[in-house]
Structure 1
């Protein structure tokens, strides 16, 4: 049996509300399980994904541009298709050759795209360099230190090539001290004199 006390204090309906009196109105409260700022996070994520996708498609562009060009025409610079012919007009090399016994000694200037300068065979030298220029490969790279080379001596000739090729600086030295060095020299004929 329960006894009802007529003098019990009146409890207002607001005191049973799940929100304290200082809390915002229930319509503006964050729903249970939701995180504040979710819309902002989604917006930032979408913007970041869009920028990443645009960057990826831009970096993939030059590869697609070379797909039909064939390996012999691939320049070192991924932006070369956008810069030709003006960008390739900066292809300028200075070739200094010594020790050939007078057959090819001297200092020569070579300009390509269009060809010119004081080099004795400018047109063929430019064409040969173009054929030897491949994506990711430096035609002026030194012989790898772990190469196994024959002791074949090719003579005392030396060469120094400086300048710019395919948008990259060039500063390379050449000699004919062993089989690897001779092969490296011969790959750059007619830029370097043919001593075979």
Structure 2
């Protein structure tokens, strides 16, 4: 029984090996794989999308693009925002990290403003949400001014 099974497997493999080149020749060459660089950030620079809602200031609410080195995009104060991000690089705290679950935060409400920042910061992927629901969240928001607007 084992010999029959082994013989069947060898014959099947031989038949498939002979058929594959013929099928490939009829269908044409296989496409070449795309280079991995097409799916990666090209330079490790900074390109962030900042979306702000509920700030109470129609001029602050909206979607902004921020690019650094050189500063540009649609962010209203791109140069100052890029300077702040560069300053934060030297600090130990990560302003994009969420508030730890065990953090003790003051129970103050800073308003309904929310923000989301996505993109890359010096080649590092960023996807971070912000609000002003308590003292810790207000502190996170304020640490990113002027990337995020001054709201009251």
Normalised by the shorter chain, which TM-score bucket? 0.5 to 0.7
- Structure 2 counterpart of 1:66: none
Contiguous gaps of at least 5 residues in structure 1: 1-85
How large is the RMSD of aligned CA atoms in angstroms? Answer: 1.7
Paired with 2:145 and 2:91, the residues of 1 have a C-alpha distance of: 20
Q: CA deviation at 1:87?
A: 3.6
Q: CA deviation at 1:189?
A: 0.4
Taking structure 1 as the reference length, what is the TM-score of the superposition? Answer: 0.53
Q: Flag as ranges the 4+ runs of structure 1 deviating above 6 A.
A: none
* Deviation string, structure 1 residues 98-147 (Cα, Å, up to 9, x no partner): 00122410000000011000000000000001101137653311111111
Q: Greater RCO between the two (CA within 8 Å, min separation 6)?
A: 2
Contiguous gaps of at least 5 residues in structure 2: 1-41
The correspondence of residues 165-184 of structure 1 with structure 2, limited to 5 A, is 165-184=121-140
Q: CA deviation at 1:167?
A: 1.4
Of 119, 123, 127, the residue aligned with 1:163 is: 119
Contact 2:142 2:150 in 1 (8 A): yes
Equivalent pairs, count: 110
Of 79, 82, 86, the residue aligned with 1:130 is: 86
Paired with 2:51 and 2:62, the residues of 1 have a C-alpha distance of: 6
* Structure 1 counterpart SS, 2:140: helix
Of 81, 94, 101, the residue aligned with 1:145 is: 101
The correspondence of residues 70-85 of structure 1 with structure 2, limited to 5 A, is none
Paired with 2:129 and 2:123, the residues of 1 have a C-alpha distance of: 19
Taking structure 2 as the reference length, what is the TM-score of the superposition? Answer: 0.68
- Structure 1 counterpart of 2:62: 106
- Structure 2 counterpart of 1:154: 110
Paired with 2:100 and 2:134, the residues of 1 have a C-alpha distance of: 13
Q: CA deviation at 1:174?
A: 0.2
Of 187, 190, 194, the residue aligned with 2:143 is: 187
Using a 3 Å threshold, how does the CA distance of structure 1 residues 150 and 103 change in structure 2: closer, same or farther?
Answer: farther
